[in-house]
Amino acid sequence: MEKLNWIKKGLLFNPKEHNTPLWMNEFAQAPHVLHFQDFIRVYFSCRPCPDANGQYVSYSAYADFDFDFKLISISEHPILPLGQLGTFDEFGTYPVSVIKNEDQYYAYYAGWTRCESVPFNTAIGFAKSNHPDSFNKVGDGPLISYSVDEPFVISGPKIRKFNDIYYLFYIAGTDWILDNGKPEPIYKIRMAESKDGIHFIKADKQLIENKLGEYEAQASPDVFYKNGKYHMFFCYRGGANYRGKENGYRIGYANSIDLVNWNRNDDYVGIDVSDEGWDSEMISYPHVFELNNKVHMFYLGNQVGKQGFGWATLENELL
């Protein structure tokens, strides 16, 4: 099968290049598109400068683009507040995925809390709104949290609706490993389904087989339906020493006819790091969507989106 032919268009949005508020100082991570009549809204997560201890918090925001990918506007305020003292999202909301449900908008996001023995833990929160500019949390606790079979790092929500069923693709931690004495998380791609978008039943299985061995980490499962098949674009990395080019994030691919059983074929994906520039060390967190009768991908580059997100267009057919 002929591999996909993605034409890279370059870095599309970098907060540093715009007069953004202090809470949007850098990073534009995990882009997710919501379509409107004459523009697209791209939700993403960003960060202010780190505090005196070098600790970050993360907020979720949006940028609007016309159908020629020209920037129209940027959100003036975060779409979600950080959680209260001691809650699961006290220190961040990243990433976020939004879907329209009749006259409301549903937002699924990962909430971050800091830990003692490891740097963080995450769970998936839920918020909704009558308009897509800001969202109200349904409560102080998570919608999907760690459990007996998924003990930590429940994150990376991507919501999709197929055949009147909501599918929430996400990641779940399996191990913390030590890399030069520093704990690093290992996580795998999972899925849950729901009839109403609120009450989910987990599939209780790892969807994507490992390519790099037991300690491969997988993230950002983005599912797209085209030509009678479900196509998943995701990212993966080595378990250790992954913050550079050697074991850094790459984009993978799998397909399915039932959303439960997936066939991995990374050779088909057709996009890799560049020889130089903002995405020369890693590419990650793909989001695939259709616009202007073409398939496009937003994705992150070096340092997992510290410079923002870029854009590529598919030149051949997704089969």
Residue 53's contacts (CB-CB under 8 Å, 6 or more residues apart) are: none
pLDDT tens-digit profile of 57-69?
999 999 999 999 9
pLDDT tens-digit profile of 118-143?
999 999 999 999 999 999 999 999 99
Confidence of residue 223 (pLDDT cuts 50, 70, 90): very high
Distance, CA of 227 to CA of 46 (rounded, Å): 35
The percentage of the chain sitting over the pLDDT mark of 90, rounded to a whole number, equals 99
Query: What distance lies between CA 104 and its chain's CA centroid?
Result: 22
Q: What is the CATH number of the domain that holds 167?
A: 2.115.10.20
Check if the beta carbon of residue 25 is closer than 8 Å to that of residue 45. Answer: no
Distance, CA of 98 to CA of 202 (rounded, Å): 20
Domain hosting 139: range is: 6-314
Confidence of residue 164 (pLDDT cuts 50, 70, 90): very high
Could you tell me if residue 60 is inside a domain? Answer: yes
pLDDT for position 240: 93
Looking at the whole model, is its pTM more than 0.85?
Answer: yes
Q: Say whether pLDDT at 1 is over 90.
A: no
Could you tell me if residue 1 is inside a domain? Answer: no
User: If you average pLDDT over residues 254-263, what whole number do you get?
Assistant: 97
pLDDT for position 149: 94
Number of structural domains the chain divides into: 1
